[in-house]
Amino acid sequence: MGGLVTSHEAGLTVPDWPNSYGYNMFFFPVSKWIGGIFYEHTHRLVASGVGFLTSVLALWLYGKSSRPLLRWIGITFMVAGVALCPIFSTHVAENLSLAGIGLVGFAASFLWPNCEPSPKWLRILGVIAFFAVVTQGVLGGLRVTLLKDQIGIFHATLAQVYLLLMCAIALFLSDFWQNLPVRAQADLHRFRTLLIFATALILCQLMLGATMRHQHAGLSIPDFPAAYGKIWPATDAASLQRYNSNRVEVIGYAPITAFQIELQMAHRLMALAIFVTIGICAFRARREFGSRHWLSRLTLAWFGLILTQAFLGAATIWTNKSADIATAHVACGALCLVTGGLTSIIACRLLGAPIEEIQRAGKNELATLLPSSSISAR
């Protein structure tokens, strides 16, 4: 939804926050969801849903110990909502909504799952996810109220990091992670480093893409694979004047600058570096584990996503930045980051387990994994 907002240039179609045209966000009339307002307002509602579910997850990781906290939060919200009605008489709906949220929280404290808390490190990740989604919401609001494109870049980047964090928590809670076989192959530490490096490159690429999208200057370079018919376009004053005079785009885009052209060229070079790096990852996984190993298949699927991402990036240019294709390009970039991040996490556990985990695996398991000389030394 955030990609659709940016692709349709709908970022400021709702000019106020946290309200929507003076209405409480959740009571904004559906009849007014027209044009760009539909994308922007729906984005806010989806974001609210994500924030709610993240709050539930963070509390759920604490298990039954969350019940007292839920109870006191519910009581506090109910009292605050009722007490504020006489003070803010023009915001009765908002105050009643606050009291209603408190009532739901109070009732939930009696129905909360009677499960044991998750490990401390996992509970900490849940708390980090909660503060990340709160920060994300505040950044989105400040982007509207302060009219700062730079905030939008941080907003887009934090969204990617938050998505990776949530997928990592889902991985850690899965049976797959619990049953992941223990391995110890210290000679493959370079492969693990390569996976992490490739994932970091993708994150940097997404940051470059967010910077490009928030320039609001359309396509800085209208052709691909060439750039204004050259390998590297000229950025002198005369060339810039010629580029801007020949642009055929929607009226209202700002003139392109040398920085924007260089930024897009950096984006292309980074894409090439990612393509080569992940291709090497897929090749090394196949060589080390064989073609049927799931880690080989996962890196191959990752490489396939990169190919898809490259095609969508080219199609974005060929279609003069079609909103749907540009949004698919953003979504595929997020999938590339998540795939790389989870592959790196799994590989770090699979290929570099701590010594205490190796010892718990038992001598029979070690006999199939380590040279006999190593076992004798142990």
What confidence score (pLDDT) does residue 163 get?
Answer: 96
What confidence score (pLDDT) does residue 47 get?
Answer: 94
Instruction: Name the one residue in this structure whose structure tokens are 């490190």.
Output: 121
What confidence score (pLDDT) does residue 313 get?
Answer: 94
What confidence score (pLDDT) does residue 331 get?
Answer: 94
What confidence score (pLDDT) does residue 205 get?
Answer: 95
Q: What predicted TM-score, i.e. pTM, was given to this entire model?
A: 0.84
Contacts of 61 (CB under 8 A, 6+ apart): 117, 118, 122, 123, 125, 126
What confidence score (pLDDT) does residue 40 get?
Answer: 93
What confidence score (pLDDT) does residue 58 get?
Answer: 93
Task: Give the integer Cα–Cα distance in Å for 2 and 130.
Answer: 19
Burial profile 286-295: b = 16 or more Cβ within 10 angstroms, e = fewer: beebeeeeeb
Question: Do 267 and 212 touch, CB atoms closer than 8 A?
Answer: yes
What confidence score (pLDDT) does residue 186 get?
Answer: 53
What confidence score (pLDDT) does residue 219 get?
Answer: 82
Structural tokens at position 173: 């809670």
Instruction: Name the one residue in this structure whose structure tokens are 């966000």.
Output: 25
Task: Give the integer Cα–Cα distance in Å for 22 and 96.
Answer: 17
Q: Which of 275, 364, 287, 351 is nearest to 313 (CA)?
A: 275
Task: Give the integer Cα–Cα distance in Å for 352 and 301.
Answer: 23
What confidence score (pLDDT) does residue 88 get?
Answer: 59
Task: Give the integer Cα–Cα distance in Å for 315 and 342.
Answer: 28
Predicted confidence pLDDT, tens digits, the chain (378 residues): 888 898 888 888 899 888 889 888 888 899 999 988 999 999 999 999 999 999 999 999 998 888 888 888 889 888 887 777 666 555 666 667 778 888 888 888 888 888 888 999 999 999 999 999 999 999 999 988 888 888 989 999 999 999 999 999 999 999 988 887 766 555 577 888 999 999 999 999 999 999 988 876 668 898 999 999 999 999 999 999 888 887 755 445 678 889 999 999 999 999 999 999 999 999 999 988 888 888 899 999 999 999 999 999 999 999 988 989 999 999 999 999 999 999 999 888 876 544 444 344 444 443 444 444 343 443
Task: Give the integer Cα–Cα distance in Å for 267 and 245.
Answer: 24
Question: Backbone phi, then psi, for 73, in 5-degree steps?
Answer: -65, -45
What confidence score (pLDDT) does residue 125 get?
Answer: 96
Contacts of 268 (CB under 8 A, 6+ apart): 227
